[in-house]
């Protein structure tokens, strides 16, 4: 494994505070953020954005590792087995990998995912690639960590559909190979718990990093790694105002402590055809979770990393092409109508953010002898 280059949360937080002089408390931060969005919509934003951006960092080699869930090779391998195990779904047919396919885009490349019995939800599956860097998980940030995220789909009736977490524990306990692995990885008298299942899966997910995008190589000094168009697109994205939200090494906003989300309203400008055509204001966003009016249409700012390979776009997967997604974002978030040539260049830049997907061995799932777990 590469050496840990990631700064502590505290250092990061301190740096953000010093640099932008924005964050003193989360409340004042929220007010400022909203003010910034409004300002961005109406004024030239170059200077503000340049100050906020801090996008000129390559993707870190490793993500933050929580103190209570250190990485070990055995735990990662166990997590990989669990990640690929469809027996963790009610029907025995859906695994984490079904919707977050690590042989491809880290998601499922469809509008909304197919859970057990063909159920479809209303939100597009985010890619698992680099999700270990996000400070909150899900579109609405309702899980503070990968560990908490992993527990959600298991018991979501339209995803993996287990009746409760005890059922997950019961199933894992029924498989001899897992009993041995959990004992070895976690120790103790009763190591198979939903928390340990989630810890193992999260540990595996923390290995799912895609380094060495063309843009990263450009930042590291390989000046020919990206085209002139892509470079112009990078500058355009700044000038247009995209970096107000899509800043930082992940183009997902400032790096905040785990559990603290960087949220933005989408759509911000609703008086346009895109909102209607793509039903962008149908979903309540974070309000669905918090029930607070202030969270209406608020979403975690998604990363641009690998965005060119993770179509279709937005929380509802309603936009199938990247160029259209760029047009929609400029209009709905910045009230800008981009020229065709501008869209093309921004798309070229976004394409340069596709990283290298790591080569992996297939896990071998521990098998049952003489019977099956799900019938």
* Residues annotated as catalytic (active site), given as ranges: 159
**Using CA atoms, how far apart are residues 220 and 270, in angstroms rounded to an integer?**
39
Least CB distance to its own copies at residue 306 (A):
9
Token pair 């491809």 is found at 104
**Residue 15 vs 122, nearer CB to its own copies:** 122
Residue 137 sits at φ, ψ, to 5 deg, of -115, 165
**Residue 195 vs 323, nearer CB to its own copies:** 323
**Using CA atoms, how far apart are residues 147 and 71, in angstroms rounded to an integer?**
13
**Using CA atoms, how far apart are residues 115 and 120, in angstroms rounded to an integer?**
6
Token pair 């607070």 is found at 292
The count of residues in the chain is 375
Least CB distance to its own copies at residue 147 (A):
23
**Residue 340 vs 359, nearer CB to its own copies:** 359
Q: Which parts of this chain interact with its own copies (CB under 8 A)?
A: 84, 86-87, 91-93, 98, 101-105, 108-111, 113-114, 116-119, 308-309, 311-312, 317, 320-323, 347, 351, 354, 357, 359-365, 367-375
Least CB distance to its own copies at residue 77 (A):
12
Provide the phi-psi class of 259: left if phi over 0, else alpha when psi is between -120 and 50, else beta: left
**Using CA atoms, how far apart are residues 96 and 85, in angstroms rounded to an integer?**
8
Token pair 């409004």 is found at 38
Question: Cα-atom radius of gyration of the chain, to the nearest Å?
Answer: 21
**Residue 24 vs 364, nearer CB to its own copies:** 364
**Residue 194 vs 322, nearer CB to its own copies:** 322
Burial class (CB in 10 A: 0-12, 13-18, 19+), 32: middle
Least CB distance to its own copies at residue 363 (A):
6
Provide the 3-class DSSP secondary structure of residue 112. coil
**Using CA atoms, how far apart are residues 263 and 242, in angstroms rounded to an integer?**
14
Residues 196 and 309: beta-carbon distance below 8 Å: no
User: Which tokens sit at 164?
Assistant: 């409760």
Residues 127 and 100: beta-carbon distance below 8 Å: yes
Residues 208 and 180: beta-carbon distance below 8 Å: no
User: Which tokens sit at 265?
Assistant: 């309203």
**Residue 193 vs 213, nearer CB to its own copies:** 213
Least CB distance to its own copies at residue 128 (A):
14
**Residue 53 vs 311, nearer CB to its own copies:** 311
DSSP string, 62-79: S----TTS---HHHHHHH
Least CB distance to its own copies at residue 157 (A):
13
Least CB distance to its own copies at residue 268 (A):
24
Q: Find the helix or strand (DSSP H, E) in which 265 lies.
A: strand 263-265
């Amino acid at each position: 494994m590469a050496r840990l280059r990631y700064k502590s949360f505290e250092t990061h937080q301190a740096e953000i505070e010093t640099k932008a002089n924005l964050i003193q408390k989360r409340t004042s931060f929220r007010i400022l953020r909203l003010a910034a969005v409004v300002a961005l919509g109406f004024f030239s934003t170059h200077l503000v954005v340049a100050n906020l951006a801090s996008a000129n960092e390559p993707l870190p080699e490793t993500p933050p590792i929580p103190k209570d869930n250190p990485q070990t090779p055995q735990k990662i391998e166990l997590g990989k087995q669990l990640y690929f195990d469809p027996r963790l779904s009610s029907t025995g047919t859906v695994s984490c990998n079904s919707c977050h396919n690590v042989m491809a885009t880290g998601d499922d490349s469809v509008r909304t995912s197919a859970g057990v019995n063909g159920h479809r939800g209303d939100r597009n599956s985010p890619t698992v690639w680099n999700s270990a860097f996000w400070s909150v998980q899900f579109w609405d940030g309702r899980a503070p960590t990968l560990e908490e995220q992993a527990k959600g789909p298991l018991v979501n009736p339209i995803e993996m559909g287990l009746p409760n977490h005890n059922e997950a524990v019961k199933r894992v306990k029924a498989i001899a190979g897992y009993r041995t692995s959990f004992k070895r990885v976690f120790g103790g008298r009763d190591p198979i718990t939903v928390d340990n299942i989630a810890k193992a899966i999260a540990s595996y997910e923390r290995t799912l990093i895609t380094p060495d995008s063309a843009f990263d190589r450009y930042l590291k000094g390989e000046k020919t790694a990206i085209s002139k168009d892509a470079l112009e697109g990078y500058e355009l994205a700044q000038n247009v105002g995209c970096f107000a939200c899509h800043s930082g090494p992940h183009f997902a906003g400032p790096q905040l402590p785990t559990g603290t989300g960087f949220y933005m309203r989408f759509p911000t400008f609703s008086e346009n055809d895109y909102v209607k055509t793509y039903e962008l204001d149908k979903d309540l966003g974070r309000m669905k979770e918090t029930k607070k009016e202030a969270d209406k249409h608020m979403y975690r700012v998604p990363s641009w990393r690998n965005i060119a390979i993770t179509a279709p776009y937005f929380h509802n997967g309603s936009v199938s092409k990247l160029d259209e997604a760029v047009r929609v974002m400029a209009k709905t978030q910045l009230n800008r109508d981009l020229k065709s040539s501008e869209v093309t260049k921004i798309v070229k830049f976004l394409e340069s953010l596709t990283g290298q997907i790591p080569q992996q061995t297939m896990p071998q799932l521990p098998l049952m002898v003489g019977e099956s777990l799900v019938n």
